[in-house]
Structures are given as C-alpha cells and as structure tokens.
Amino acid sequence: MNDPEQLEKLRAGLMPFQLVKYFSFTSLGVILIFTLFLSWFISKHARTVMLDQSEAYSLLLAENLNQQVFRGFVLPTVIRYGTIALSNPEQFQRLDLIVRNVTASMKMETVTIYDSNVNIISYSTNEELIGRKNIGGLEYEKALLGVANSQIVSSGSILSLLPGIQDAHCLLKTFIPFRQVRDDASGDGQIMGVLEITQDLSVDYTAIVRLQGRIIFVSSLVMFILFLVLLIIVSRAGKIMEKRVRERLSLEQKLSDAQRLAHLGTMVATVSHEIKSPLGIVRSTAEILAKRIRKVAPGNENLAEIIIAETTRLNNIVLEFLDFARPQKVKLSPVDINNLISQALQFIKPELSENNIILETEFSPTVGRITIDPDHFYRALLNILVNAIQAMPEGGFLRVSTGVQVSDGSVCITIQDSGVGMSEEKNAQIFKPFFTDKNRGTGLGLAITRNIIEQHHGTISVSSKENEGSTFTITLP
C-alpha cells in the first residue's frame, strides 16, 4: 500500500484510534502528576502535624521548665545571694542541675536562657553558646513582648534518601518569655528573659521524607506498570485496527477493480466476439488466395502467408481477451504437480537452448498429487516461464523448485530467473491487466495467471530487483 492516496485513507481510518491513544496516555500522565501532588500534600500535612505537636509539647515543657527554674533556682538564689550571677560556679551548677533534671529523658537538643536587658545568652546546656550576643533574632524580640513563637531549621529533601546524599536534618526552636511565677501559678508575671528550647526532630522528619519517597516510588511503579499494560493494549489494538483498515481499503480497492474490470470485460468480450468472426474469414480467404497465387504467380505467395500469420496473431490476442473477460470454470482432478511442471519445461526446452539459458530443477518428492485443473494450471506455468525467458535475452539460468511448507502443508512452487529484473513500481503493477513494458503483447498474461491461481484458492507473489532477476512464488493449498 505505497499509493499516497491509499496511505492518506489509512491515516484517516486510524485517526479516531490515534485520538483515543492520545487521550489514554494524556490521562495516564495527568493521573501520575496528580499522584505526585497528592504525595507532596500528604507529606506536607504530616510535617505540619508533626511540627504542631512538637511545638505544643515544647510550649508545655517550657512552661514547666519556667516554673521549676523560677521556684527551684531564682527564688532560693535571690534569698541566699541577693542577686543572680551565673558567673558564680555554684549558681551555674545549681541552675544546670535543675534544667537537666527537668529535661532528662526528653528529646531536647539544647536549653538556652537569654537575658532580658541584653541579647546575650546567660545559660545554655551547650557551653559553647554561653556569652554569645545578638543571636536571638526576631523570635527573641517577640518573646520579650510576651509572644511565644517557634522557628524551623531544616535541611534535606527526598533526595536525601539517595546514597551519598547528606541525611535530612530538622530542628524546632521554641522561644517563650521567662516570667516570674506568682503564688497562684499564673504565667503573667514580669518577663525576666527568654527561654529557648531546641528539639531535634530529624528522626521524625526523616520518617516523613521516607513516607513521601515510598508514596512517590509506589505511585511511579504503579503508573509504570499501568503504562506498560496500556502500551501493550494500545500496540495490539493499533495493529488490529491497522490490519482491519488495510483489509477494508483492500476490499474497497478490489471492489473498485472488480467493477472496473467487469465493465471492461463486458466491452472486451463484445468487441473480441465481433472481431473473431471477420478474422476467421480473413484467414480462410488468405489461405485460398495463397494457393491460387502459388499457381498463378509462383514466388509471391509469401504475401498471403504474411496475412495468415498476422491474422493468427490477432486471433490469439482475441482469445486472450476472451479468456480474461470470461474465464472458464476449472475442472479439478488429482495431478502430479512435478510431472506437470516437467511437461511445461520440456515444451520450452528448445527456447531455452536457443537463448543460452541453463535450467536447474529441484522437485521435492513429498509434494505428490494435488487437486488442480491441469490445463489451466499448465497455461499459468507457461505464462510465467515465457516471461522468464523474455527477461533473459542474453542468456542466464532458470531455476524451478517445489516443496511443502511445514506450517500448513501447502505446496510451494518457485520459479527464479537471472534476468533484467524489475523496479519497485513495475513490481507493484505486474499482475494488473493490460500492464506491459513490451512492444508487443496485451499485458494480460500474468493477470490471467493470477486469476487461474486464485481460482485454485492459491496465491502468487513476485520479488524482484533491477539487474538481479525475479522470483515468482506460487502457493497452493
């Protein structure tokens, strides 16, 4: 189906399926994107819940720590020393003991106390931070105003799950005002500083990242499997659709050809029938005229013989037209196909010798007898053999072989020549009626041959290249 018009019809026939395929893969892509967005949303929500719970826990811990430090350290220290001076090792150790007792067995990274007058760290469980100034930031300022707040410090993402990438890390820093505690335990006393509690949430954060990774991996795996399944289904459906469209176009083409040939056959049959009778009369008259000229003017009878030869040639053409227009019904009988081919080769042997063509045969003994019309099939073989001889004007080799196909038991006949071969364009039209590249001939020989083969429910095909010869293959059930 190399005709541009046929290819355009094929594309038009497959267009609805192409749209279905396009929408199928597009929908799959949309589902994948939605799934990835859903995984991000779930992990985002899980992270928010984790941070809210951690922040609530930090605030509760900070309030408890505020009361414990104020009651257990601030009040006794003021009563004993009159003032708080953490530079005093004894005061520092007492505060450190209270803080560590309160935060023991709790997942606290550091506990830091800022001064209320100066942005300086007065105390921290991390001794390296003690005495550092101006690192409280905006959160420190808010806490001084009585507003508890938190800050997230995190690094890493889903890529942290890959080997060689730094692990995910997450810290929650909670800042609350460090207040005086009244006797009624109310927390609205004077702000004496800022209390910072740092929690290490890396384990929980990593768990959330892994959850996100699992969701993305499972979603991608499911989408990949669905893609493969859809690809297989679409591929098979595409082949089936293309096959059906090709069959439909082929049937339409055959129907069109059949209608055209039916009209052409009717016309040819009518014209041929009208020509056949006058040709017979002309030939009979020329034969009588040749006998009289031989008596009256010896040596000139060749003129009448030319008329006889040409009328004979025209009669053969008319018969060929009639055979094509009104093919006879086949008369089937069991025939040894190897013997039938041998008879045809024996008939053309003089022409093979005359044209310096070497004959090679390879007949399979497993072929045996098949049911065909010997007269019709003999004529089909002669048409192909004569065609092969005409393709080798300067000699060559002709190879004829038979065999049985293992797959379905059909008989295969191969006729191969080393002639001039054919181009792809000619190869595509060789079985069409009236197609010929010879100066003489009707172009019906191979068309009649194909009709005979198809009447036997067989097929005929040809493969050929220019200057490399041609191979005709006949397959019979």
Q: What is the mean pLDDT of residues 190-207?
A: 84
Q: What is the pLDDT of residue 437?
A: 60
Q: What is the mean pLDDT of residues 121-147?
A: 88
What residue segments make up the domains of the chain, in order of their start? Answer: 329-476
Q: What is the pLDDT of residue 382?
A: 83
Are 231 and 28 within 8 A, CB to CB?
Answer: no
Q: What is the pLDDT of residue 363?
A: 87
**Which pLDDT tens digit goes with each residue over 275-334?**
666 766 776 777 777 777 777 767 666 767 777 777 776 666 666 665 655 556 667 788
Show Cβ contacts of residue 358 under 8 Å, excluding neighbours closer than 6 positions.
352, 395, 396, 397, 398
How far is the C-alpha of 75 from the C-alpha of 395, rounded, in Å? 126
329-476 carries CATH number 3.30.565.10: yes
β-pair type (396-404, 411-417)? antiparallel
As a 3-state breakdown, the chain gives helix, strand, coil percent values, each rounded to 5, of 60, 20, 25
**Which pLDDT tens digit goes with each residue over 219-250?**
778 877 877 787 777 777 767 777 777 777 77
Pick the closest to residue 477 from 414, 415, 402, 412 (CA basis). Answer: 412
Give the pLDDT band of residue 15 (cuts 50, 70, 90).
low
**Which pLDDT tens digit goes with each residue over 365-374?**
888 788 888 8
DSSP-assigned beta bridge partners for residue 334: 371
Integer angstrom CA distances of residue 28 from 76, 224, 233, 245: 70, 10, 14, 27
Its pTM stands at: 0.44
Q: What is the mean pLDDT of the chain?
A: 77
